[in-house]
Structure 1
């Protein structure tokens, strides 16, 4: 493990692995909300087995990185640009100094707007990007104008650090398997729960109203007219057909607007594709292997 420091001073926990022999490059692995390094042990092993080095970190406010509020269970940021500072710290303080090129990005859910914005600013950093169940749009029942306006109004009233309505003050990974929105694989779900029971400090509860408002702003910004069309890094988007957290149709629509984009719908998959059943994971890895490594940024 390595401790990094973001540009605004937030402490971040990071990790790096090398495969046996000569590496084919480095996959920079970026997590979704509530996730942490240990949860990705199986994915890291899969990447090492493919000959890639792997670099990853816990975003601020979750995992083993610095928590931002007095209540460590509250998932909160005021702006997704803060997550971009975390990603930049990983690249500048670990990847570019210790990791073999070329560099590829693999991002889940919340990481999508972070990586897309980062690659707009630094298109030379990643050869290719793979986004899994990307947070391009939230699920429809929380994505209307009234919801955006309500979140903005509550933030303006000083409630940005309160839980979203119905938010629970306990680790989300310890909720019952039955009816969960993230995976249909009970063994992988229980594996994550066991990690939290063993190290409760890694757990995270519901998002705050401020986090939700920041998510609305981030997704609206990356979808503005002309932005996907001008994106230069070849990107593969994989959406989950049974996603109840983000809108898979928004991800598919975004991919169609990319000059160098591709899209694959994982039918039967819930939100956490990398924690899904073997048949779904096998399909993911087949697509990954066909896409990575790839060419340099589009000109």
Structure 2
């Protein structure tokens, strides 16, 4: 397998940009509420398709390196920007506000993307790969819609979140009451428009190169920027997370858990893995939240686990 490395990333940037500009097919998918931006590409010797459900504040533009790397390894690749972020439609006048009417709207979009785009272009075996919020969306989708995925690889899935010093039961009550009082479109306490943190302060990755490239991309394309969450998003998310133990997914799942994660609560990974026999969990030492954007010492073992899992479920 080919692995994109930090040492060679600068030199490979022209190939990555060429892949993005000339190989990826990019378009918009119409939905009842707005357009979803998506892209896909299929190498000649593709044997499996990987469909990516990205995390909050993420989308195609952030995943260029990974998509190029997967394509180079002869995987067909598909990705859609979730509603409210990336190049897809956003509900509110202030485009920085993270909002969703109902958390299930995300998985309804993913189902639409899978049925109208992925299954139209690709008829072979498929693996669903996700990160963070995208993992919660993937789990919801797999539990509620008919599909033909052979398995799902969940990077640091958002099965519970850290509430930054506020007890979780209190945070849920605050979000619920704020929505009941009509503040669903207001930023939750402490949330603001997009404000990039300097690398030493970031909690996402230990890789300065990949972190700075992510921030540079968003600085060059302001429409990609997304700020904090609203009470509406928070309440919808808490409602979904409270029901996650009731969902049943019957295909093989692989949870890649970041040992030093302070964004999602890893305890939920272990709780779910202990409940289902079809879940494999691996914890990656010295890893922050964004496993696909970590330093090579973390990222490559994560991708090795992804490829091994993919082979095991699609052979």
Name the TM-score class by shorter chain: over 0.9
- Using the TM superposition, name which of 91-100 and 30-39 deviates more: 91-100
Q: Does 1:278 align with 2:289?
A: no
Structure 1 regions of 5+ residues with no counterpart?
none
* TM value normalised by structure 2: 0.88
- Using the TM superposition, name which of 174-183 and 263-272 deviates more: 174-183
SS in 2 for 1:292: helix
Instruction: Give me the whole-angstrom Cα distance separating, in 2, the residues matched to 1:177 and 1:78.
Output: 32
Q: Identify if the C-alpha distance between structure 1 residues 122 and 143 changes in structure 2 by more than 3 Å, giving closer, same or farther.
A: farther
Q: Does 1:10 align with 2:34?
A: yes
RMSD: 1.5
Match of 2:233 among 173, 190, 211: 211
Deviation at 1:123, TM superposition (A): 5.1
Runs of 4+ in 1 over 6 A off after TM superposition: none
Q: Does 1:269 align with 2:257?
A: no
Q: Does 1:82 align with 2:100?
A: no
Aligned residues between the structures: 288
CA contact (8 A) 1:242 1:269 kept: yes
Deviation at 1:143, TM superposition (A): 5.8
Q: Identify if the C-alpha distance between structure 1 residues 15 and 155 changes in structure 2 by more than 3 Å, giving closer, same or farther.
A: same
**Could you give the per-residue CA deviations for residues 63-106 of structure 1, whole angstroms, max 9, x where no partner exists?**
10011100001110021111112201210121011124111100
CA contact (8 A) 2:56 2:133 kept: yes
Instruction: Give me the whole-angstrom Cα distance separating, in 2, the residues matched to 1:178 and 1:161.
Output: 31
Alignment of 1:85-100 (within 5 A): 85-100=108-123
Q: Name the structure 2 match of 1:22.
A: 45
Instruction: Give me the whole-angstrom Cα distance separating, in 1, the residues matched to 2:170 and 2:225.
Output: 31
CA contact (8 A) 2:178 2:184 kept: yes
Instruction: Give me the whole-angstrom Cα distance separating, in 1, the residues matched to 2:144 and 2:188.
Output: 31
Instruction: Give me the whole-angstrom Cα distance separating, in 2, the residues matched to 1:253 and 1:85.
Output: 26
CA contact (8 A) 1:119 1:125 kept: no
Q: Name the structure 1 match of 2:4.
A: none
Q: Does 1:40 align with 2:60?
A: no
Instruction: Give me the whole-angstrom Cα distance separating, in 2, the residues matched to 1:112 and 1:44.
Output: 17
Deviation at 1:122, TM superposition (A): 3.2
Match of 2:169 among 128, 131, 145: 145
SS in 2 for 1:270: coil
SS in 2 for 1:287: helix
Q: Name the structure 2 match of 1:108.
A: 131
Instruction: Give me the whole-angstrom Cα distance separating, in 2, the residues matched to 1:142 and 1:252.
Output: 22
Instruction: Give me the whole-angstrom Cα distance separating, in 2, the residues matched to 1:35 and 1:142.
Output: 26
CA contact (8 A) 2:52 2:79 kept: yes
CA contact (8 A) 1:256 1:262 kept: no
SS in 2 for 1:107: strand
Q: Name the structure 2 match of 1:126.
A: 149
**Could you give the per-residue CA deviations for residues 4-50 of structure 1, whole angstroms, max 9, x where no partner exists?**
023x332100000112x321111000110010201001111221122
Q: Name the structure 1 match of 2:8.
A: none
Instruction: Give me the whole-angstrom Cα distance separating, in 2, the residues matched to 1:67 and 1:9.
Output: 9
Instruction: Give me the whole-angstrom Cα distance separating, in 2, the residues matched to 1:22 and 1:204.
Output: 37
Structure 2 regions of 5+ residues with no counterpart?
1-25
